[in-house]
Structure 1
Amino acid sequence: MTGSVQDLKTDGAFFKYLNKKNEYKQQVRETMVRTAAKLTSSATSEQRPGMLLGKVQSGKTRTFIGVMGLMYDNGFDVVILLTKGTNALVRQTYARLHEEFSDAVDQDAMRVYDIMSMPDNLRKYEWNQKLALIVKKETHNLERLRTALEEKYPELKEKRVLFIDDEADFASVAYEYKRDQNLKQMRVIATKINELRKKIKHTAFLQVTATPYSLYLQPEDMTIHKGKVFEPIRPSFTELVPVHNRYIGGEVYFEMSEKEDHLASYLFHEVNEKELEVMKKMDGRRVKMDQLLEQKNISNIRMAVVNFIVGASIRRCQQRLKGKREEKYSFIIHTERGKSAHAWQAELIEGFEKLLTEGADRETATFQTLIREAYDDLIRSVSKLKKSPRPDFKQVYEEVRRSLNEEYVVSSVVNSEKDVQELLDYKGELKLRAPMNIFIGGQILDRGVTIHNLIGFFYGRNPKSFQQDTVLQHSRMYGARPVADLAVTRFYTTARIYTVMKRIHEFDSALRRAFERGGHDQGVVFIQRDGTEEIIPCSPNKILLSNVLTMKPHKRMLPVGFQTGYKTHIQKQVRQLDDRVDQLKKAALKERDGAYLVPVEEAKRLLSLVHETLEMEEGYEFSMDEYEGVLDYLTAESEKRACVWVLARKNRNIQRLKKDGSYENSPDTPGRGEGELAEARRLARNFPALIMLRQEGKKEQGWRGSPFWWPVLIVPAETAPTVYAGRTVKGKH
């Protein structure tokens, strides 16, 4: 049942005040109104919630507060706001609601309570006001809420109550493949919430999340391959939180970053996997505290710290040149959960600071080199902004020296409730004590606590499998960011983690696009290969998010981050590839402009031979299981024979590495023109296209002196948005 916007009161005291105070833009206001209208007229529950879907750090709280105001104006008396289980987030939420509804609170029209500190003797005068109850999603808080509703104030059960489940994710409730993630407890919590809801006469239920990824974006039923059917559960309705124009998210880090010379192309700095091992625990054999500024095995964390200090110095110089107030900046190190690792990392950071301060005082050659390297790295991206001042090296160098001598740098370990409480300001947000703040910690840093002016993020949480909701909530570099801050921002992680985060971003984008076009009624298809190698539909709450591949029209798939095998080891396979490519015309069912439509088995054989010739670097994969599964799916629905267009080109001489040292990833766009990619996309309408590029592989280009073939697979234009859940493949990738 769809709510009527026309029937909703939008000029009541609560929403009128919020709208005037916050100056909501029309798109945001319309989202709030549609959400409230549907909540007031649709049947919602914990099992069939309304869903407010936003991006990580994109203004979801602002939006649901507006919905609260509309619900108060339209006959609802109580909002029970369910938050993630940290005292810091409760405190931040409490401060935010008090600030937003300050007029109503001052006029005794509303009360805001943390359920754990709610008085036991509320008078009728008080509980007859509008109430906002903040409840952590944990047993003691929910028991306290039950006591309030059933024993102390049973009259509240007769009121109209809106449940808002903040940072909810139904996917996480359904995961069962790991026992060490408190998933059993989450199921218990969900059950308790549902039991409470049933005891209240009039309720509505709204989930607010950036990660809804299990059950809701598929069709009502889906039949794929030999009549197999999967029937999903879906929400009552979904509204998208509009993304504001200052939002920096996955599009910047994983899409724009691939455009050479774009501001975003400088963001990612690759970290060696071995360096994460060094950061786990103190080891005097591997780390010499008096040599921190020279040691190679900690080069990335050293670079990250120096870049942060230099980046903050550049921004403060720019602000001074413009006559503006100089800001404070933050940097996060999030690699481990254990407190012993945090203590060691804190010691490491203090060691860097001590040696850098000594170097600044004496102006040593090592210190000058480190500052010059950081300046040169950062000024490349700063120079992309024409309207921003560009302080010269001498200005920045002196600013860095002053910052170190005046102790502008402060590091803090944040790994327990007590630590966070001591670090919060009066708004419940992480306090920036000094101009340059380094926060070292674990999960406590990703629980929604606001961290301002973040320009550096060293991320190394590296489990064997990744949950989408967890990884996205760790993405603290997302959010509202001035573009001038983005110019000095750097993101440090391993190639493997970066690849997983990129896949998760693609997954996230595909599902959001489905919503934006109303496609949640049509759906996003989830598929996998079963034990018999057949493509079958799968339940998305069963998949490992590190193994997903999102397919969309004309997407490219290609191996990146590899070296060839030695010439003597791969020349046989290269000769076989040469012969097969030359004979494509004989196997072709159709020819068009030098491209050949061949059976899918032929494309698989080409890829399999290529797979034998490439050696993937650490953190990069080329999985034949994945490529074969994708080809099977993309050609399965063809009314004719399963086929692939193959477009082959020879005599290519591409460099292995780009100018910035990253691996080349665009062999199909020579000279950065359209090249074969444009040709292949014109061909790939109903069938996929496989570009085969024969590279000379010369040593002066970074290869091993052997020719090799580089494949690029293009998804057909007619492909529906699809998520392929690959299996974990043992052995060579």
Structure 2
Amino acid sequence: MTLKMNGDYFNALNNRNQYNQQEIQAMHDTVSNLMTISTTEHKPGILLGRIQSGKTRSFMGSIALGFDNGFEVVIILTKNSNALARQTYERLRQEFEVLMADDQVIAYDIMQLPQDLRQFELKKRIVIVAKKEKKNVERLTHALFNQYPSLANKQMMIIDDEADYASVVYEKDRDKNLTELKVIATQLDDIKRRVPTAAYLQVTATPYSLYLQPDSETLHARGYQPKRPAFTVLVPTFDAYVGGKFYFEQSKLNHPASYVYQPITDTELEILRKEDKRRAKPDYLLTSKNFIGLRAALINFIVGGNIRNLQQQHAGERLKKYAFIMHTITTKKAHMWQYELVQMIEQRLKILLQTDESAFQQLIKSSYTQFKQSTKAHYFPGIDDVYEAVKATFEEETLLITIVNSEQDVNQLLNHAGELNLRAPLNFFIGGQILDRGITIGNLIGFYYGRDPKKFQQDTVLQHSRMYGARPQEDLYVTRFYTTPRIYDVMERMHAFDEDLRYAFETGRNEGEVIFMMHDAHKDIVPCNPNKLLLSKVMTVKGKKRFLPVGFQTKRKTEMTSRMKQIDQQIESLRRYAIQQNANDNRHILVPVVRVIPILEEIMATLVMEEGYEWQIETYTSLLNYLSRLSANHTGYVWVITRDNRNISRYRQDGIRFADRPDNGQDELKQSYQYGTTHPTVMLLRQNGDIAQGWRGAPFYWPVIVAQTKLTTIVFEG
């Protein structure tokens, strides 16, 4: 679709932000898709970015471009967080400052929406920010359908920021044993249904619950609406972005990133979760093995921040303030205990400086030496200058230790730009959930992470990763990341899983279906809260795993005759398309997947599933299509192995359970493992279907799909 790309609204934001061509293309694709592809409350578009990678920048630009191309009202839904709602609103005011000054755009938080907007105001482009919270959504509903009903009739864009939060959640009502959408999600759906002309855009970096929703037929049958996206646009990653590649890939190379990760012990984490003064005696805080990680974290933060300030001073630049985050648990009691511990370590360092300066100096020198090894900066200050700066930190109290949690007034937490306020030169933040998802924390050079459940939810852990985002190269040289080896390993695997998802979109591998890498040998990662996938048919696919229909009967003999003749001809014709086959046995051929899928569809049309059994052909052909493109050159081929004259009984020996092993482990299954190392296999087993075996006296094919042997475990929802 041809869009107006030089309108007043988009030009105003482009002049302010100087978007590059990739960003402009993403904004164009987003708005174009919203205008040409039908997006509904159960089929929205999605803007997919990495954690803190510029998603807000991208959808703000898309709003402006949308205003130039017919959109009049934009609703931005944020996570249920005062801080994030405030951050979004402040960002909106900054981005549209010129347009708002020219009376072309007005913007409101829904809770401050005036009761007396006049017609001349309602004719402007309007942006409303609302938290995904019950009262906010109720106020939004009232504004759109009672207070200012003309808004609901305008061309509207609804942007669901952090879309996997509170937009798709299922929970079980124990009394009624029913599955119900949570209240907020239901309220949002009601708004979307009542504005049928609106375009819907979901924005997130953790889309797992969105893509893993069941199809519409499954949910409609149970009275629910699916949430799977109608299209996906990737947010381009800017040059200054630092993400998992730095922490988990470059760290394995001869690179400054190799110094970033600092392991901590499980014992240390355990002590930090609950007050235990027996193991945290002040006199031993600087020497106890129980606090090696926390002690190093505080010292390294002070030394690193001062190194950067000295470098800025040397370059004639304005001195920056720096931040450190400690996020291990959500309870407020634990935050108070950790606050007390960090303060005690700070006090013991002050005492050491006064009573044994040589010992204090040795601690600082050790940290300095590590930073010097990890830096490639053009200028690195000498130890004497750094030491004097560190001493000044303690003497002038330029280190601020702060608890950040939901008890505090958001106005005390955020600065005028809506970001976490850095009050002092060095800011050591201790907190929980409020430090995750969406909150921007500037100049972060230290992250102490200790959330350690038995099973890690990938979307939650990635949203906790506040160390991702725009970071100057010089800051990276003094950045440190503290966590246990187990958590680091989990986060490393999550990074690999997430990159595979993005690569699938970049290469076009995700066409019609979306996959997620998940469980490996550790079995300790799930894509998201299971309540978000309760109704979804999600499959774990491992190498050599078999997929086949079970619990069926064939159609009547009279109908089967003509159908089988056609299927036999289709299978015979496959040999014309073989690019590889066994020279001595033409029952093993490698053929294009597009030639096999129609045969599977024809075969399934001959089978009738018994009540309580199902085998959705669309799901399994999507899976086969995906598996066929996982080879190194994404070829789209599958091995087909055929056998005939089989006489398997419809039931197992007990006469009760349906048979589920039509394949011979010493013959065709063994061959599928041998041939299907990098490509999947489809076994087409021609059964005689004798009445004595429980069938209807007509031959039929029993298909079996086998995943290739060299397959990293994935989670698939087609």
| 3-state SS in 2 of match to 1:455 | strand
User: How far apart in 1 are the matches of 2:306 and 2:75?
Assistant: 44
1:317 equivalent among 310, 314, 318 = 310
Asked if residue 403 in structure 1 is aligned to residue 393 in structure 2, the reply is yes
Map 1:183-194 to 2 at 5 A: 187-194=182-189
Aligned equivalent of 1:36: 31
1:68 Cα deviation after fit: 0.3
Aligned equivalent of 2:72: 77
1:423 equivalent among 380, 392, 413 = 413
Asked if residue 499 in structure 1 is aligned to residue 489 in structure 2, the reply is yes
Change in 2 beyond 3 A, CA 1:548/1:290: farther
Map 1:48-59 to 2 at 5 A: 48-59=43-54
Report if aligned partners of 1:218, 1:523 keep a CA contact under 8 Å in 2: no
- Specify the code of the residue in structure 2 equivalent to 1:465: K
2:89 equivalent among 94, 97, 119 = 94
User: How far apart in 2 are the matches of 1:193 and 1:219?
Assistant: 19
Change in 2 beyond 3 A, CA 1:215/1:201: closer
Aligned equivalent of 1:380: 373
1:184 Cα deviation after fit: 8.8
- Specify the code of the residue in structure 2 equivalent to 1:24: Y
| 3-state SS in 1 of match to 2:182 | helix
Structure 1 length as normaliser, TM-score? 0.69
Asked if residue 457 in structure 1 is aligned to residue 447 in structure 2, the reply is yes
Map 1:690-709 to 2 at 5 A: none
Aligned equivalent of 1:486: 476
- Specify the code of the residue in structure 1 equivalent to 2:361: Q
Q: Could you list the per-position Cα deviations for residues 700-731 of structure 1 after superposition, in whole angstroms to 9, with x for gaps in the alignment?
A: xxxxxxxxxxxxxxxx9996775159xxxxxx
1:361 Cα deviation after fit: 3.6
Asked if residue 244 in structure 1 is aligned to residue 234 in structure 2, the reply is no
- Specify the code of the residue in structure 2 equivalent to 1:286: R
Report if aligned partners of 1:248, 1:481 keep a CA contact under 8 Å in 2: yes
Map 1:165-180 to 2 at 5 A: 165-169=160-164, 173-174=168-169
Map 1:111-130 to 2 at 5 A: 111-130=106-125
2:40 equivalent among 45, 59, 66 = 45
- Specify the code of the residue in structure 2 equivalent to 1:335: T
1:188 Cα deviation after fit: 2.4
1:522 Cα deviation after fit: 5.8
Change in 2 beyond 3 A, CA 1:153/1:27: same
Report if aligned partners of 1:27, 1:242 keep a CA contact under 8 Å in 2: yes
Report if aligned partners of 1:219, 1:520 keep a CA contact under 8 Å in 2: no
Change in 2 beyond 3 A, CA 1:234/1:152: closer
Aligned equivalent of 2:247: 253
1:234 Cα deviation after fit: 3.8
1:36 Cα deviation after fit: 0.5
1:237 Cα deviation after fit: 0.8
User: How far apart in 1 are the matches of 2:39 and 2:433?
Assistant: 31
1:642 Cα deviation after fit: 6.0
Change in 2 beyond 3 A, CA 1:171/1:78: closer
1:441 Cα deviation after fit: 0.4
1:176 Cα deviation after fit: 5.7
Aligned equivalent of 2:259: 266
Report if aligned partners of 2:169, 2:185 keep a CA contact under 8 Å in 1: no
Aligned equivalent of 2:635: none
Asked if residue 723 in structure 1 is aligned to residue 717 in structure 2, the reply is no
Aligned equivalent of 2:272: 279
User: How far apart in 2 are the matches of 1:343 and 1:638?
Assistant: 63
User: How far apart in 1 are the matches of 2:321 and 2:251?
Assistant: 26
Q: Could you list the per-position Cα deviations for residues 439-492 of structure 1 after superposition, in whole angstroms to 9, with x for gaps in the alignment?
A: 000001113121100000000111222222111110000001111111111111
- 460-469 vs 356-365, which moves further: 356-365
Q: Report the RMSD for the aligned CA atoms in angstroms.
A: 3.6
2:295 equivalent among 299, 302, 306 = 302
1:421 Cα deviation after fit: 2.5
Asked if residue 347 in structure 1 is aligned to residue 340 in structure 2, the reply is yes
| 3-state SS in 2 of match to 1:105 | helix
- Specify the code of the residue in structure 2 equivalent to 1:205: Y
| 3-state SS in 2 of match to 1:207 | strand
User: How far apart in 2 are the matches of 1:184 and 1:319?
Assistant: 57
1:159 equivalent among 140, 144, 154 = 154
Report if aligned partners of 1:526, 1:723 keep a CA contact under 8 Å in 2: yes
Aligned equivalent of 1:657: none
- Specify the code of the residue in structure 2 equivalent to 1:421: N
Report if aligned partners of 1:52, 1:239 keep a CA contact under 8 Å in 2: yes
| 3-state SS in 1 of match to 2:160 | strand
Change in 2 beyond 3 A, CA 1:55/1:338: same
Larger Rg: 2
Change in 2 beyond 3 A, CA 1:250/1:436: same
User: How far apart in 2 are the matches of 1:333 and 1:219?
Assistant: 37
Structure 2 length as normaliser, TM-score? 0.71
| 3-state SS in 2 of match to 1:416 | coil
- Specify the code of the residue in structure 1 equivalent to 2:438: G
Aligned equivalent of 2:433: 443
Report if aligned partners of 2:497, 2:516 keep a CA contact under 8 Å in 1: no
User: How far apart in 1 are the matches of 2:446 and 2:139?
Assistant: 40
Aligned equivalent of 1:364: 357
User: How far apart in 1 are the matches of 2:418 and 2:105?
Assistant: 21
- The percent identity for this pair of structures is 48
1:240 Cα deviation after fit: 0.3
Report if aligned partners of 1:503, 1:548 keep a CA contact under 8 Å in 2: no
Aligned equivalent of 1:105: 100
Q: Could you list the per-position Cα deviations for residues 62-115 of structure 1 after superposition, in whole angstroms to 9, with x for gaps in the alignment?
A: 000011001111111110000001111111111111111111111211110000
Asked if residue 198 in structure 1 is aligned to residue 193 in structure 2, the reply is yes
Change in 2 beyond 3 A, CA 1:333/1:176: same
- Specify the code of the residue in structure 2 equivalent to 1:193: L
Report if aligned partners of 1:171, 1:212 keep a CA contact under 8 Å in 2: no
Change in 2 beyond 3 A, CA 1:526/1:442: closer
User: How far apart in 2 are the matches of 1:719 and 1:15?
Assistant: 48
1:269 Cα deviation after fit: 1.1
Asked if residue 14 in structure 1 is aligned to residue 5 in structure 2, the reply is no
- Specify the code of the residue in structure 2 equivalent to 1:359: L
Report if aligned partners of 1:218, 1:525 keep a CA contact under 8 Å in 2: no
Report if aligned partners of 1:220, 1:521 keep a CA contact under 8 Å in 2: no
Aligned equivalent of 2:221: none
User: How far apart in 2 are the matches of 1:685 and 1:184?
Assistant: 40
User: How far apart in 2 are the matches of 1:218 and 1:177?
Assistant: 17
User: How far apart in 1 are the matches of 2:8 and 2:158?
Assistant: 21
Aligned equivalent of 1:414: 404
Q: Could you list the per-position Cα deviations for residues 200-233 of structure 1 after superposition, in whole angstroms to 9, with x for gaps in the alignment?
A: 2520000011011145389999xxxxxxxxxx97
